[in-house]
Structure 1
């Protein structure tokens, strides 16, 4: 704040040196304008934030009390939970026909898949074990290391060229190109230099 006021004072001195008649007006006007504009904008920003947060807080309280659809939904969920706790099999408001069809369906599944000891209505508990990947990799690495690798000079020539150079078609084409170039070189007279 001190630096800002020093800058303002320097500007006011510069303005007052040029015009002696208005010497009293400029320093007062500049010193009052800058801080008041800062004060007014700061208070405006604070007022906006306070009004926004206050309206949001009031809105959330009103929604909890006055939203009938949400309240109805919550009461229905609570009623369903109470009814479910009162039944043995977990079927809420089930008629005897529904219970009989459920038993028939479960018997069909048990007979079809041989699940006599399993409870088909409960969620199965799955137990996943971590596979031992390191052991399998070590076995494969040992097998690879044990194998002897024999590399011939032809293998080195065959696999060190550009991509596709190991295919028989590519090798035959390259050999034909080399033979054509050799013929061209042989046909040229030995006394004439190129270029």
Structure 2
């Protein structure tokens, strides 16, 4: 099974962030079977993804909106974003095609976790006139990780560092977390 992401490596969010910012991620299924996908992030209160999970038919594509929630104040110039996204995907068996997504993912994570494929995307914050604001970069290698490589890196999906980016996440909590980041304090509980 193989999916293709566009952009393949990084998501570039352009200022100003006080209005929010949306980046489109295209997922293409290059397989002859239906695949399911789920998007997770390390900063689930800052972003929402629409849709954050779904199925893609053989040789089809789907576009997702990744929305950086509006902030009350713009981040300082030169702020280095450490946020990441993880796209999990798996080829579906015929009996799984009609399952509700929540049931499907519960089954997959219990019975077929070793078959999951992972793709990481890095977030960058860029200026509107930044010539490097393109969605690809030779400096950051594209990552297609298998389960063993991801677990060895300490970034196991479902662990404390990753959460599913829900559509419609609360904006107030987002503003509070970003304000803490800007002031140099990190509060992991929010």
Shorter chain as denominator, the TM-score bin is under 0.3
Write 1 or 2 for the structure with the bigger share of helix.
Answer: 1
Larger Rg: 1
